[in-house]
Amino acid sequence: MEYEAVIGLEVHAHLLTYSKIFCGCATAFGAPPNTQVCEICLGMPGSLPVLNRKAVDYALKMALATDCTVAPESVFARKNYFYPDLPKGYQISQFELPLAEHGHLDIKVNGQSKRIGITRIHLEEDAGKLVHSESRPVSFVDFNRTGVPLIEIVSEPDLKSPDEAVEYLKGLRNILLYLEICDGNMEEGSFRCDANISLRPLGAKELGVKVELKNMNSFRFVKAALEFEIKRQRANLSAGREIIQETRLWDTAANQTVSMRGKEEAHDYRYFPDPDLVPVRIVPDWLESLRKNLVELPQARLQRFQTEYGLPEYDAEVLTSDKALADYFEATVKEFPHPKQVSNWIMGEFMRELKEKPSLMSTITPAAAGKLLKLVETGAISATASKGVFVEMVKTGKDPEAIIKEKGLVQISDSGALEAIAQEIIEANPKEAADFRAGKIKVMGFFVGQLMKQTKGQANPQLANEIFQKLLGEGR
């Protein structure tokens, strides 16, 4: 039997506020353990939470960016459960009345556009973090993360493949980065995702038993975990075994998902409205002022890159898929106003290096990049030599002009000097010269290549061509 996968994602994104969602403690990552805590985020008796307005602003921006309907009134609820990283014994979240609902995000997989529904976006606080000792059988708890504001973005089960899931995640992350409300750092856990996945016979309406996958902190792991789970569930169903509703973890070492615990149902958490917090009322003016000041989003920028710079859709897609890259492109075009050339360069050499060196955008400033492209354009260096200059810029971060001077890479456009070398090459290769004179004009490539070799790529190729035409033509 053929099966199809049904995938829904729950994304948690840390909001980039300076202070926590219900108290004034700092949120910065990496501080010594338990130094960013107070009686409120530790849940001491008698302490009262106060909502951080900035966190609401940020959550609303995301709601607007994904075309959600914002609820005029939403309510914070207590999600009750015990875990050592949760000092209050409950997490403040939203349940029945979330901040926003019914949005969507458009993704593109294999050239096909698809709309993925967003069920809801709600605000909540993060829990602390357990640190397990590797040398001793003990665990420590760090409450610095307790109370850091999160939005949870829940998708409809509209995703059909691991590739679609990854595209959706990349799209969400990109919007968060464009809005500058989340740093998107997956390793530090500021952007993380759980997946619900089930299989059903192809064409069936009813959903199969779902499994929740946790602990996936990179796009690669999300893809691998979903692929593994599709195989596992298909094998079980084909063999007539039942799928158990449970929570599974992605084990990066073993490359497989492993059972963690039976899945809780919502009623296990005994949700109820938090009596310490008033409902959140969003007045229309608040929402309107956020809407008016919303930054340009990836989709809009993609369109603009095609109309304003005349870029092909493919270029525009690659460049706008990463806000930093799109910013870099625009800054470089300001220095060197030939958009397609800048795009070619960024999407070629530059991105190849960027994969290895994420800090490349600060090593090579847009001003330096523009200068390099200008040097090729004006003929000061050859395109071949520019590749060597770029490698040196990557290594040292030096100015391209300084590198050219140091390495003596200035393009030789002095015809007298080139002619002398060309003459020697012709004399050393009488057979090729005769071939050319006999009409085999393809041999020209050989001669220019020889000249490039002897001048270490510094000869102006246009000029080299003209010189050989002249010298070889004379003897004809």
Q: Which residues of the chain form contacts with Zn ion (CB under 5 A)?
A: 23, 25, 38, 40-41
Q: Which is nearer to Zn ion, 143 or 228 (CB)?
A: 143
Q: List, in sequence order, every residue forming a beta bridge with 41; answer none if it has no partner.
A: none
Q: Are 10 and 152 in contact (CB under 8 A)?
A: yes
104: β partners:
117
Own/partner contacts of 300-307, CB < 8 Å, gap of 24 or more, are: 301/178, 301/326, 305/329
In the complex, least distance from residue 41 CB atom to Zn ion, rounded to whole angstroms:
3
In whole angstroms, how close is the CB of 26 to Zn ion at the nearest point?
A: 9
- Least Cβ distance, residue 130 to Zn ion (angstroms): 19
Report the alpha-carbon distance of residue 215 to residue 206 in Å, rounded. 28
CB of 276 to Zn ion, least distance (A): 14
Return the closest-CA partner of residue 402 out of 389, 414, 387, 391: 389
In angstroms, give the least distance from the CB of 23 to Zn ion: 3
Instruction: From 166, 105, 121, 98, select the one nearest 15 (Cα to Cα).
Output: 121
Q: Considering the complex, what minimum distance in angstroms separates the CB of residue 139 from Zn ion?
A: 22
**Measured between alpha carbons, how far is 428 from 320 in angstroms, rounded to an integer?**
52
Smallest distance from Zn ion to CB 35, Å: 11
CB of 24 to Zn ion, least distance (A): 7
Q: What is the DSSP letter of 349?
A: I
Long-range contacts of 290-296 (CB under 8 A, 24+ apart): 290/57, 290/60, 290/61, 290/64, 291/64, 294/61, 294/64, 294/65, 294/179, 295/178, 295/179, 295/180, 296/178
Closer residue to Zn ion, CB minimum distance, 25 or 182: 25
41/213 with CB nearer Zn ion: 41
Q: Name residue, tokens 């979330």.
A: 98
Backbone angles phi, psi at 243, to 5 degrees: -90, 135
211-216 vs 246-251, strand pairing mode: parallel
| Token code pair at residue 302 | 């993609």
DSSP 8-state symbol, 143: G
Question: What tokens were used for 220?
Answer: 């690669």
Tokens of 26: 């700092």
Angle, helices 313-320/323-335, rounded to nearest 10 degrees: 120
CB of 149 to Zn ion, least distance (A): 12
- Rounded to whole angstroms, the Cα distance separating 180 from 468 reads 57
Of the pair 23, 165, the CB lying nearest Zn ion is at 23
Residue with Cβ nearer Zn ion (25 or 197) = 25
Minimum CB–partner distance for residue 19 and Zn ion (Å): 8
Q: Which is nearer to Zn ion, 52 or 382 (CB)?
A: 52
